[in-house]
Structure 1
Amino acid sequence: MAKALNPEQLRTYFALMESVTLLQHAVERQLRADGGISYVQFQLLARLAQARQLTMTELADGVVYSRSGLTHQAKLLEQAGLITRTGCPDDQRATMVTITDAGLALIQRLMPGHIEVVRDLMFDAMSDRDLHALAEIMTRARDHMRAQPPRSATIRRRRTAD
């Protein structure tokens, strides 16, 4: 049986999860109002805006999203003219995703409002010292979690009928 979290661990866990949920909800509202896209779609476009082109697996691992969910989101973004998907010349199993000029323009248009929401809700409440400490802690936590195999490498189990 797993050891219970102590009161400080429990308080920290719930504060983190509530903060993430509140921030994500506000960001989602801003992105839908200003650009008509979801937070997941924004994450995909933002990653592609930096790299210009990635494989579907790289995108799924980068945004921590299921392969089937990513395929659905990519289809929506492609239908909107924000990305293109093509076969990979080096690996027939891979699909390359490229951001279009329209996708880049959308990210550039959304970024000021996105930054405003994040700054207002998160960073304005912190001193420079707080920010440095949080960055160190969250980087360590993320790196620890990322040391596990990526979701794309996880073997999927089939559901059995009961």
Structure 2
Amino acid sequence: MPAQTSLDSDQLSAYFALMDVAGLLKHAVEQQLREEGDLSYVQFQLLARLALDSPTGSERMTDLADGVVYSRSGLTYQAGLLEKAGLVSRAPSVDDERSVTVSVTDAGRAVIARVIPGHVEVLRQQLFSPLSGADTQSLRDLLVPVRDHMRAAPPRSAGSRRRR
């Protein structure tokens, strides 16, 4: 069976709407994070994963890169900036000496605590205000299986590195 080479009008419209929403929302979030925390979006993702999602406040760099869908080299650079600012610390992993573990500091937790209220407000205003509770559930029900399908592929860190 030959591969389909085009999208139907509904698929194309859904794709463009999704990309527009994602781009506009990311812009609004990035602006708020810069103004209130002097953070880039990826720096916020790293700090939030460590401060809010990790029970220990620490994760391996590879796991962080996979979780935030960012290159290993880019993540290393961003973690270095956060470390210089005193928001994270990096150390060799106790489980694997080849790995590096990143941990959020008290200062990093304080920055997250400072930016979260504004972050939530941007999300409410930009994403959730035009939706009813049922719409929000429908949006979740549509996006979660798509996300899970995309994340079912091997993580980026498992892929081979291209040499230049």
Q: Does residue 66 of structure 1 match 2:71?
A: yes
**Deviation per residue, 1:30-74 (Å, 9 max, x gap):** 000111110110000000002100000110011000000000000
**Deviation per residue, 1:90-121 (Å, 9 max, x gap):** 21111010000000000000000000001000
Deviation at 1:157, TM superposition (A): 2.1
Q: Which secondary structure does the structure 1 equivalent of 2:91 belong to?
A: strand
1:48 counterpart residue number: 50
Q: Does residue 102 of structure 1 match 2:102?
A: no
1:8-157 paired onto structure 2 within 5 Å? 8-50=10-52, 51=54, 52-157=57-162
Q: TM-score, normalised by structure 2?
A: 0.95
Q: Which amino acid aligns with 1:9?
A: Q
Unpaired stretches in structure 1, ≥5 consecutive residues: none
CA distance in structure 2 between the aligned counterparts of 1:7 and 1:156, rounded to whole angstroms: 37
Unpaired stretches in structure 2, ≥5 consecutive residues: none
CA distance in structure 2 between the aligned counterparts of 1:2 and 1:92, rounded to whole angstroms: 47
Deviation at 1:2, TM superposition (A): 4.4
CA distance in structure 1 between the aligned counterparts of 2:123 and 2:65, rounded to whole angstroms: 23
CA distance in structure 2 between the aligned counterparts of 1:114 and 1:141, rounded to whole angstroms: 24
Q: Which secondary structure does the structure 2 equivalent of 1:137 belong to?
A: helix
Q: TM-score, normalised by structure 1?
A: 0.96
Q: Which secondary structure does the structure 2 equivalent of 1:97 belong to?
A: strand
Identity of aligned residues (%): 57
Q: After the TM superposition, which segments of 4 or more aligned residues of structure 1 sit over 4 Å from their partners?
A: none
Q: Which secondary structure does the structure 1 equivalent of 2:129 belong to?
A: helix
Q: Which secondary structure does the structure 1 equivalent of 2:90 belong to?
A: strand
